[in-house]
Amino acid sequence: MNLPLLTIALILVHLAGLAAATHAVMHTRTPQGAFAWALGLALLPWLTLLPYLYLGRRRFHGYVDQHRRHRRQFDHAREPVTLSHDPSCARYAALCNMLHTTFHPGQQLRLLVDGDATFTAILDVIAQAEHYVLVQFFIFHDDGLGRRMQQALLERAAAGIDVCVLYDGIGSHALPRHYVDTLRAGGVAIHPFATQRRHTRFQLNFRNHRKIVVVDAAQGFVGGLNVGDEYLGLAPPLAPWRDTHLAVRGRAVADLQRSFAEDWHWVTGTLPPRRSPPPGQGTAHTLIVATGPADLQESCSLFFVTVIHAAQRRLWLTTPYFVPDHAVTAALQLAVLRGVDVRVMIPSRPDHRTVFLSSTLHAYNALRTGIRVFRHQPGFMHQKVLLVDDDTAAIGSMNLDSRSFRLNFEIAALNVDRAFAGDVETMLRNDFEHAIEIDKTEYEHAPWRRRLAMHIARLFDPVL
């Protein structure tokens, strides 16, 4: 009697798999991804259907249209800015056109080289807030640093300051409910970011990976760190933790506010408080690059391609996850052929085993084309930094992987300024001194099973 029911269930699963395979063919971004999903869904639906529901969605309803509509509204509402006419910025005109924004001249920048410097600066500025505090991180932890941040936000809320906090529901999955409840009870407006307003478990693919802090529009912060003790190097076995952040003063802070406001409006239906930033008194030209799956183009991948193509003498980049797509790989190879000094720094320790294995294989392929690859020592390296020639440096949340390129909401600051680029060069030279340059033997002398694991891990590149 159970056999017919089992047969019916199998038929229904296969029909659902065929329907999902059709959806994958129509909507998956890359031919390779479409083929892989369609084959798995058609032949092995009982294994692939559930992962596809979680990971196979290319878009999400609602956010895309609202994101674009409100971007147009924000464009009309914001105050006119002084366009940058610095010839060095002309190399990045395509980025400005894609992002519908521009470089802001006269920005004041401060490089925050590690977690201690970053959170000392952020907490000090929050403590001085007079009007509002906007905070957005991918991860909050209920640990020493997390409670310091919690206390700082509660103190400002108790003083009558508007405090708005966003965190990613997936990235902060381990955050206990009482952490959020304590903040809400203390007057802090705090919400998880979700790509659908109605609760659904099928939304793992899209994550808000941005890290933004804005206080009174006077100062903003952007970079790679999250709120947790590991980012201070206090959580073995990945300690010491290597990461970098950036403090900005000037009109570019308005674009950080704007990015936060778009996400806040999607989650809450309201706009956070805002003020006009004072003009900067510095020398940098800064472009805020906010990318995500709601964009018309694959804006994060295009950001890397554009910046790599701009390099004429030097391109140094650091990334915890080196899983470039074909466009970025080709851009790096062309840079080498132009005679550019291309260096990539990656971790020596894994925090995600599958990504680490895939990164190792990509590093081997990069070495074969003349790209120099280094493994940072000791601990884990999480920073996302780009240095181009002698005048351009970018710091942000973007990794060199398909998740950042196509699935995550990301943000970075691209800065054209020789003095700031010099600071970044000094920092990176110190990092390279603590790194080991790898060669082909890392892959070629690895045991056969490990090399096989690398190639299997690479099959998962589209969702890493």
**Which one of the listed residues 114, 142, 216, 391 is annotated catalytic?**
216
Nearest alpha carbon to residue 135 among 147, 123, 144, 145: 123
Q: Is 440 one of the annotated active-site residues of the chain?
A: no
**Which one of the listed residues 389, 401, 417, 461 is annotated catalytic?**
389
Give residue 89's region: left, alpha or beta (phi > 0; psi -120 to 50).
Answer: alpha
Token pair belonging to 77: 């509402």
The CA-atom distances, in angstroms, between 155 and each of 20, 41, 55, 119, 175 are: 50, 52, 40, 16, 21
Q: Is 384 one of the annotated active-site residues of the chain?
A: yes
Provide the total of helices (H) and of strands (E) in the chain, helices listed first. 16, 18
Q: Is 142 one of the annotated active-site residues of the chain?
A: no
**Which one of the listed residues 384, 391, 401, 431 is annotated catalytic?**
384
Q: Is 326 one of the annotated active-site residues of the chain?
A: no
Q: Is 67 one of the annotated active-site residues of the chain?
A: no
Could you give phi then psi for residue 411, rounded to 5 degrees?
-155, 145
**Which one of the listed residues 67, 104, 209, 285 is annotated catalytic?**
209
Residues 142, 176 contacting (CB under 8 angstroms): yes
DSSP assigned state of 359: H
Residues 133, 156 contacting (CB under 8 angstroms): yes
What's the maximum distance between 2 C-alpha atoms anywhere in the chain?
Answer: 80
Q: Is 211 one of the annotated active-site residues of the chain?
A: yes
Question: Using CA atoms, how far apart are residues 27 and 321, in angstroms rounded to an integer?
Answer: 26
**Which one of the listed residues 382, 401, 417, 431 is annotated catalytic?**
382
**Which one of the listed residues 211, 309, 362, 376 is annotated catalytic?**
211
Helix (H, G, I), strand (E, B) or coil at 136: strand
Catalytic residues: 209, 211, 216, 382, 384, 389
